[in-house]
Amino acid sequence: MFNEDTIAAIATSSLGGSISIIRVSGENAVSSVDDIVSFGSGKKLSDMETHRISYGFIRDKDGTLIDEVIILLMRGPSSYTREDVVEIQCHGGSMCARQILSLLCSGGKVRIAEPGEFTKRAFLNGRIDLSQAEAVMDVIESKSNYSLKSAVSQLHGKVKEKIINLRKIVLDDISYIEAALDDPEHFSLDEFDAKFEVRLKEYRDELQKIIDNFNNGRLIKEGINTVIVGKPNVGKSSFMNSILGAERAIVTDIPGTTRDVIREDVVIGNILLHLIDTAGIHDTDNRVEMIGIEKAKEHLTIADLCILILDGSRCLDDEDVKLINNTSNMTRIILINKNDLETKIDLDKIKSITDDDIVEISAKSGNGIEEFENIIKEKFDLNVLSFNDEIYLSNQRQLTHIEKAKESIENVMVSMENMLGEDFYTIDLMDAYTSLGYVIGESVDDDLIDNIFKKFCIGK
């Protein structure tokens, strides 16, 4: 068990709500709440059974009633932190909850929790591993149905299960090799190498599969960085407003209205798009416009998706062709806007230049937007993502250690090819075992733990 001070914090949002919750965890959780709560039955919280809800009153030191409350008692180890945990449910509003928290801490038994300290204790007390702890924050920050499903899958131990299984198999091989080297009379390596080589390829392929899934995991968690580009006055801002269902971007008939990037998030189906509306890209001597155009080009370098908008009511010109060519190496959808007007653009010529999806739309009427949304789902395979069979790493820290583990496995394979001997295998196998341990927190130092949990909100 991880022994520390008894801690308390407001676990609910500071924004308006009908209920607020103050969470208390630690050795003095029950007695400290007993000091400030009175129950109509005359009983004490310390006399009550675990996982029971009680109705009581909290009064200030001068006897003034602060609030009527509901008290939930969860004795350790059957609690979130595996310590004694008490949750006080009071009426919403920051003032009431803050008064109760202040009264609770005034007795000297309790201190204010640090950011993420409840989840940190759950990790240090062995209730969850590090990947599950990071998934807690992913659940809180989920902005789409896909990101929530992915976070919940990791919270339930999908990553942990996979890593523990891989580590066990690797450790079994290490143990057998070392036993054979120490006691060759009872443990033979004669037929070991052939089977071991097959397992190494399976280890490597399994780790590569996790690495390959990382980008999908990032898109699921963070959303798709989507940059909208085109010449001035082709309808980029109108398209963005149509997607958002609000007039977020300024729309006029004056070319070059958007001089800076405009950012908005929108959920299409279950997919989160980070929309970035950029300045119109074209040749210009205007210094202000040039700065906006450079910013647009910078955002293109980090985009997951480029939406290139062309004006269907105008003939295709050299600048249009230049934009098509300059964004050809990107995941891209080409929108032919203003199909509510007479079409003058040469669609056949565009199709001869690129094989990308081309959708005719009207940002003004919304025509073609549904077809655009369906193409996005197809491009990112989000219609067929399975949360039953695949695991998705949620951050760069996890990916780095998976990549190191794969590199160590490949080093063992090189040693086998060069016939360096089994004693060389165990060095790299142990490195792989350790790297996998970092993913789930089996091998971490205090500084890393502190750095991870300080990103959490207070009360979680």
Q: What percent of the chain has pLDDT over 70?
A: 82
Worst-scoring range by mean pLDDT, 11-25, 78-92, 101-115, 354-368?
11-25
Indicate the DSSP class of residue 86: E
Worst-scoring range by mean pLDDT, 9-13, 132-136, 188-192, 314-318?
188-192
pLDDT at 106 over 60: yes
**Mean per-residue pLDDT for 437-448?**
78
What average pLDDT does the chain have?
82
Domain with CATH 3.40.50.300 in the chain: 221-379
Q: What are the Cα distances from residue 92, in Å, to 7, 134, 393, 406, 457?
A: 21, 28, 36, 50, 19
**Mean per-residue pLDDT for 208-216?**
81
Kindly report, residue by residue over 213-271, the tens digit of the pLDDT.
777 666 666 778 888 888 888 888 888 888 877 444 333 343 444 445 677 888 776 67
Domain with CATH 1.20.120.430 in the chain: 135-213+391-441
Supply φ then ψ for residue 90, to 5 degrees: -120, 180
The most confident of 193-197, 270-274, 455-459, by mean pLDDT: 193-197
Angle at 134 between CA 273 and CA 4, to 5 degrees: 145
Collect all residues with Cβ–Cβ distance below 8 Å to 15 and sequence separation of at least 6. Answer: none
Kindly report, residue by residue over 391-422, the tens digit of the pLDDT.
677 788 888 999 999 999 999 999 888 888 77
What is the predicted pLDDT for the residue at 289?
54
CB 72 within 8 A of CB 11: no
CB 405 within 8 A of CB 429: no
Tokens 């190191």 belong to residue = 404
pLDDT at 128 over 70: yes
Which amino acid would we find at residue 347?
Answer: L
Query: CATH topology for 6-129?
Result: Gyrase A; domain 2 (3.30.1360)
CB 422 within 8 A of CB 177: yes
pLDDT at 135 over 50: yes
pLDDT band, very low/low/confident/very high, at 75 (cuts 50, 70, 90): very high
**Mean per-residue pLDDT for 60-68?**
89
Instruction: Name the residue with higher pLDDT: 96 or 291.
Output: 96
Indicate the DSSP class of residue 226: E
CATH assignment, 135-213+391-441: 1.20.120.430
Q: Does the reported pTM lie above 0.85?
A: no
Tokens 């295709």 belong to residue = 316
Could you name the CATH architecture of 221-379? 3-Layer(aba) Sandwich (3.40)
> At 72, which helix (H) or strand (E)?
strand 65-74
What is the predicted pLDDT for the residue at 82?
94
How many other CB atoms are there within 10 angstroms of residue 153's CB atom? 17
